[in-house]
Structure 1
Amino acid sequence: MRRRLVLLLLMLLVAICLLMGRLVFVQVLQSKWLSGMAKQSWEREIPLSGIRGSVLDSEGEKIAYTASAPSLLAVPSQVKDKEGTAQKLAPILGMPEDKILNLLKKKQLMVYLKPGGKQMSEATAEKVRQLNLPGIYMTEEGKRAYPYGNLAAQVLGITGSDNQGITGIEKQYDNVLQGVKGSITFYAKANGELMPGEGEAVQPATDGNDVKLTINRQIQQYVEREIEQAVADYNPDNVTAIVEDPKSGAILGMANYPTFDPANWRNYPQSTYNQNLAIWKTFEPGSTFKIVTLSAALQENKVNLNDGFYDPGYYEVAGHRIRCWKAGGHGSQTFLNVVENSCNPGFIALGERLGKTTLLSYVKKFGFGQKTGIDLPGEGNGILFKENKMGPLELATTAFGQGVSVTPIQQVMALGAVANGGKLMKPYVVQDIQNHETGQVISEAQPTVVRQVISASTATKVRGALESVVANGSGRNAYKYGYRIAGKTGTAQVAKNGRYESGHYIVSFIGMAPANDPKLIAYIAIDNPHPKHGIVFGGVIAAPIVGNILQDSLQTLGVQPSTQGLQKKYRYGDVVPVDVPNFTGLSVADAKKLALQNTAGLNVEILGAGSTVIAQSPPGRSKVDDGSTIRLYLGDGTSSKSIDKANQNQ
């Protein structure tokens, strides 16, 4: 019995020692690890977002920025009357009552009442404040603001309820604009109460950087003004326009119709805010594509512009008769006249002289059939014939811009190569990235040459021919006195389900100026216009629009008119040019008197405040079309600063 008691006592001692050892192991050796595990189970984190970076125009003016906006969140454990709370909030937030109730029943420390409670208007926030509901909290978050409304909407893009970029620049540069998120970390019980003796840690958020665009706000406004007028005049399905600096590839203006208000993008169809037609839409270009055929033929010495060509009104290809747009044809003409008249048979002949291998090589060199690499999401490729499937008929139609599919941005960059001495550039819309607080430039875009497509001498010949198109040919409605516009018209029938739709055309015009040293490329395409006069040609509808954009944009850039270049040959029905009086230096009264005395039919628009005309646009002694508007800028007549400002506004 005694031995048994001693054995039992020893066993108890061993057990006690083991328990004490385990206790020491847990309390001492594992203390740090277990405390960490416990803290992880108590840890709660509230994310902090920095201010999303602004989007600036080329002059550094904000065209999209983040403004403070109230958002609603709830701590479910503190909301005792969940049904009643949901019932009161539903009509204010515009959310279903059951959706709010489900959020309030979640086993989470905190939930956002979204979408209705995210980035609310101040009026909505005030209604919520007046309810004074337990467990419902208001916090300030960023909301995108657009001081210029829908300016460059598809370029800017949109942001979602969590301030994430969804389309456009907002998506492409989301990681730059968004910054780095921070957090508030604290420790709480399962019911949401704070753990006693535990503090909180704050990891501050880092604000996003600003993105400065190449978009010139004034030029962008000209582009959008002309699109609005085209929509009013022709009621088209859609319109797209681009303005580019051919020396660098920088996009100075880009707009589309239909457009939208980025502050209220949810009120528009997805196709409107999700597709930038200028880089996404593909279609048969029509005669604007003839620039490629002309450039290739001149580069390969397959034609001299003084060579003769006879157009009977059609061209026979593989048993098919392809007709010229002009009934009866153009008869005997030079190849310069072929370009001026946009004569399809003449360009088919050039295509045959080049052959399919050479023509396709130049089409690809000019950038067609592949993305340009512009820093915007959603760019299209376009479609070209494969060489092994390109017969005589396909070669003929490609030569005059039918049967191939291209994007507007591809066409702009192709003409940019002609304007830039044969160098094809890569387009871009972001000029630099800047620190949000200091404005210091972090990174800067540099012009990128993709390849040399044609020689500088060939580019000069092409520009000369295109200037003649505007002075003497199908692009005559784009002519602006003193600005040497060169360009090409386009009228393309639209194919649907493998067949061309009767009466459905895309009319376009692409131009550059000044022709001797181009500073700008401008392009517009109008899909399915309905003119009152019933004439659907690119030269009639699109050409004058590009002429207006180029003239106003060149004046904004300070490019002075020139007396050099080809003079327009006037025909019956053309608008006659008139001289612009010199209003600069006159008092307001004398300026009005001169305007009344002028018999040229000019309209006068007075801008600014002051007693004296300190600048005008167009300038005095220049020539404009009869009925044009002359803008007069007023000032005090003595301040050089006010004169400089007026000149910039021109």
Structure 2
Amino acid sequence: MSHGAPLPGSYSRASRTRMQFTIAGFLIVALLLSGRLFWLQILDPADNASKVLKTSVQAIPAQRGEILDTRGRVLAHSVERYDIVVDQTRLRKGGEMRTSFERSVPTSDGKTAKETVTVAQASKEIAKILGIQQQQVQRAVTGTRTFAYVFQGATPKQKDEILAVRMPGVYADERDERQYPMGSVGGSIVGYRNQESSLGGVELMEDKTLQGTPGKRAFQIGRDGIRNPYGTSDLQPAVDGKSVKLTIDADLQAYAQQQIADATSKLNGEWGNAMILDIKTGQILASADNVTVDPNDLSRFKGTAGLQPMGFVNSFEPGSTSKIVTFAAALEEGKITPTTPITTPNRYTIDGETFKDYEDHPTWQRTAAGVLARSLNTGTVQVAAKLTPQQEYDWFRKFGVGQTTGTGFPGEQTGIFRTPDKWDPRQRYTISFGQGYTQTAVQTAQIYQTIANGGVRVSPRLIKSTVDADGTETPAPAAPAERVISEKTAAELNRMMENVTVDGSGQTGALKNYRVAVKTGTAESVGSSGTYDAYTISFAGFAPAEDPKYVVVVTIARTQEITSAQTGPVFARIMERALQQRGVSPSTTKPDLYRTFSDKTPNEGSLSH
């Protein structure tokens, strides 16, 4: 046995010593871990949970419904878009902006490899995808903010390509973007939205129907920011909004917009409106303004011009188109018949107030129908004198003057119509020919719809139906109907209005193949100085007179043109387009006209106003 050999039993003693130390070490570590676990799970479980896991709630946006025209054509819809945003701090290291970063790229063998790319190069790639300047991207990603926009409104394809660049901190927020495929066709009716809310039109009026109900998704996220695959996840599905189908016919709307724009420009008017109303249903087929917003590009419009539909929000003194209400009241009260004789000098004084007609003329022996045909103020105030002020007021109210029509359209005006105790001596009579109060074009259309519909008013409406996400269509409730005048009175007014077309001031609105019942109107218009310095000219009527289908009202405000005959051709073209487009057969009978003179003078048949 050599001297260098260990003594028997010495190896086992050393091994045992080392083993004891090892076991002791393990016991100490285990004790520490157990203590920490006891602290985390028993003494402070809430604090541990907040550090290890957190619950994140993610909103699931509901798809906003479409806005459709009466034939189902899309006027407004939402498309998937993304805002490209950046957490600028992810591109910083040690307080300084990084100049490069590492990213994974696919290789030809289907694997991935690491490459280093400069921030400038990545910015150039993103800029090319978006079609913007590289400097714009670099400015957006440079800084210390945790949130900044790089670009708003990227397409899904652009979003995928940008995320593939893998620039640290750059990500995409999904949102819906509202688009309006028909642009300015019915733009102020359809309305418009920004990214947050609806601002006008049907978008605002039917916002609750269109927006649907967002859903929710809840899940747990670890401290590393990664979703825990074993965490709970609760899903409340989003309920998509319903689509809203309007009564507006996009073809008629576009045609009427062009016609009223041309006419308003030609007559140098401040604004103009043309409205088409279905007589039986009250559906508004068109409400066209001379200037209409394109909701895709609101930046072109300053102030409110073109943003709001003038047929609903602009009120004006209507002039002689409202004489029809005075005659309706007198007929209903039994004060006149269509053939009641009325002596009409060029000037007429009553209760100390003198009224005159538009043109000088000799004293005529007219019938009531003849007074209406030639739109004579001197004869109309004599008809009004047969009514008490309260009767006159009540009948105008029955026809809807001074109150909304019930469309529900945001901002619809009632006009101004004071009670008789607030009328001055002159206003007591000017009311009868449409001066001294205001109304809107849609109120005028409602008056003529009532007469054309045999005396039954059907409230105008813009909503035809709603359409669920699964395609189920639910008609809107029928518009309220109310009898205003007797069927007999309505028929008499219809015939009297045909006299206007054939013998009086409405000849420029006549149609070759259809019988038309019309009334013209010219009213003085108050300017910013508070004085009358312009005119509002109107043309209202319906066709075919023997079986009325549609009302058309044309209004051009604040023009220097004094004769409403200028609006007749616009009325005629729009009415003819509506009748032909909707397949209404031409008239096959001749009008049964009243005599317009109470003496032996024959009806004019060729005069114009």
TM-score normalized by the length of structure 2: 0.78
Q: Distance in 1 between matches of 2:211 and 2:143?
A: 27
Partner of 1:194: 226
SS of equivalent residue, structure 2 residue 386: helix
Structure scoring higher RCO (CA < 8 A, sep ≥ 6) equals 2
User: Would you say 1:456 and 2:487 are equivalent positions?
Assistant: yes
Q: Distance in 1 between matches of 2:144 and 2:307?
A: 33
What is the letter of the counterpart of residue 545 of structure 1?
V
Q: Distance in 1 between matches of 2:410 and 2:143?
A: 34
User: Would you say 1:105 and 2:117 are equivalent positions?
Assistant: no
2:393·2:420 contact (CA, 8 Å) conserved in 1? yes
Are residues 277 and 331 of structure 1, via their aligned partners in 2, closer, same or farther at CA, if it must alter by over 3 Å?
Answer: same
CA shift for structure 1 position 103 = 10
Q: Percent identity?
A: 27
Which of these residues, 194, 200, 209, is aligned with residue 167 of structure 1?
200
Which of these residues, 336, 342, 351, is aligned with residue 303 of structure 1?
336
Which of these residues, 474, 488, 504, is aligned with residue 505 of structure 2?
474
CA shift for structure 1 position 365 = 0.7
Are residues 330 and 508 of structure 1, via their aligned partners in 2, closer, same or farther at CA, if it must alter by over 3 Å?
Answer: farther
1:82·1:105 contact (CA, 8 Å) conserved in 2? no
Match runs of 1:256-267 below 5 Å: 256-267=289-300
Match runs of 1:225-244 below 5 Å: 225-244=258-277
User: Would you say 1:67 and 2:79 are equivalent positions?
Assistant: yes
Q: Distance in 2 between matches of 1:274 and 1:514?
A: 34
Match runs of 1:499-514 below 5 Å: 499-502=530-533, 504-514=534-544
The CA deviation string for residues 73-131 of structure 1, in whole angstroms up to 9 with x for no partner, is: 3346535378999999999599999996899725xxxx573xx8332479997997798
CA shift for structure 1 position 423 = 1.4
Structure 2 gap ranges (5+): 1-36, 100-118, 594-602
User: Would you say 1:249 and 2:277 are equivalent positions?
Assistant: no
Partner of 2:445: 412
Are residues 529 and 122 of structure 1, via their aligned partners in 2, closer, same or farther at CA, if it must alter by over 3 Å?
Answer: farther
Q: Distance in 2 between matches of 1:123 and 1:27?
A: 47
Match runs of 1:453-602 below 5 Å: 453-496=484-527, 499-502=530-533, 504-529=534-559, 535-538=561-564, 540-566=565-591
Which of these residues, 158, 168, 171, is aligned with residue 137 of structure 1?
171
CA shift for structure 1 position 319 = 2.5
Partner of 2:375: 342
Are residues 358 and 112 of structure 1, via their aligned partners in 2, closer, same or farther at CA, if it must alter by over 3 Å?
Answer: farther
Match runs of 1:358-377 below 5 Å: 358-377=391-410
The CA deviation string for residues 395-450 of structure 1, in whole angstroms up to 9 with x for no partner, is: 101000001011111111111111112112221111111112x2112x32233334
Partner of 1:158: 192
Q: Distance in 2 between matches of 1:99 and 1:286?
A: 61
CA shift for structure 1 position 299 = 0.7
2:55·2:219 contact (CA, 8 Å) conserved in 1? yes
Are residues 512 and 30 of structure 1, via their aligned partners in 2, closer, same or farther at CA, if it must alter by over 3 Å?
Answer: farther
What is the letter of the counterpart of residue 411 of structure 1?
T
Q: Distance in 2 between matches of 1:35 and 1:337?
A: 93
User: Would you say 1:58 and 2:70 are equivalent positions?
Assistant: yes
User: Would you say 1:286 and 2:319 are equivalent positions?
Assistant: yes
1:485·1:547 contact (CA, 8 Å) conserved in 2? no
Q: Distance in 2 between matches of 1:427 and 1:103?
A: 56
What is the letter of the counterpart of residue 460 of structure 1?
A
Partner of 1:213: 246
Q: Distance in 1 between matches of 2:51 and 2:430?
A: 75
Partner of 1:390: 423
The CA deviation string for residues 123-175 of structure 1, in whole angstroms up to 9 with x for no partner, is: 9979977986421223453322333221111110012124x322111111111
The CA deviation string for residues 222-281 of structure 1, in whole angstroms up to 9 with x for no partner, is: 312312321442332211111111211111111212112111123212403542211111
CA shift for structure 1 position 203 = 4.3
Q: Distance in 2 between matches of 1:485 and 1:133?
A: 70
1:58·1:431 contact (CA, 8 Å) conserved in 2? yes
Q: Distance in 1 between matches of 2:511 and 2:447?
A: 23
The CA deviation string for residues 284-303 of structure 1, in whole angstroms up to 9 with x for no partner, is: 00011111111111111111
Are residues 199 and 362 of structure 1, via their aligned partners in 2, closer, same or farther at CA, if it must alter by over 3 Å?
Answer: same
Q: Distance in 1 between matches of 2:133 and 2:156?
A: 12
User: Would you say 1:332 and 2:362 are equivalent positions?
Assistant: no
Aligned residues: 535
Partner of 2:346: 313
Q: Distance in 2 between matches of 1:46 and 1:82?
A: 31
SS of equivalent residue, structure 2 residue 83: strand
SS of equivalent residue, structure 1 residue 512: strand
Q: Distance in 1 between matches of 2:605 and 2:134?
A: 63
SS of equivalent residue, structure 2 residue 275: strand
The CA deviation string for residues 357-405 of structure 1, in whole angstroms up to 9 with x for no partner, is: 0000011111111111103211111111222122431110100000101
Are residues 566 and 450 of structure 1, via their aligned partners in 2, closer, same or farther at CA, if it must alter by over 3 Å?
Answer: closer
1:426·1:447 contact (CA, 8 Å) conserved in 2? no
1:83·1:101 contact (CA, 8 Å) conserved in 2? no
Q: Distance in 1 between matches of 2:306 and 2:91?
A: 39
The CA deviation string for residues 43-84 of structure 1, in whole angstroms up to 9 with x for no partner, is: 334433232211111122222222333322334653537899
What is the letter of the counterpart of residue 550 of structure 1?
M
2:335·2:386 contact (CA, 8 Å) conserved in 1? yes
SS of equivalent residue, structure 1 residue 457: helix
SS of equivalent residue, structure 2 residue 178: strand
Q: Distance in 1 between matches of 2:199 and 2:480?
A: 30
2:247·2:283 contact (CA, 8 Å) conserved in 1? yes
Q: Distance in 1 between matches of 2:334 and 2:134?
A: 69
Q: Distance in 2 between matches of 1:193 and 1:77?
A: 16
Superposition RMSD in Å: 3.7
Q: Distance in 1 between matches of 2:590 and 2:134?
A: 63
Q: Distance in 2 between matches of 1:199 and 1:563?
A: 78
CA shift for structure 1 position 318 = 3.6
2:84·2:170 contact (CA, 8 Å) conserved in 1? yes
Which of these residues, 454, 468, 471, is aligned with residue 439 of structure 1?
471
Partner of 1:118: 152
CA shift for structure 1 position 28 = 5.8
TM-score normalized by the length of structure 1: 0.74
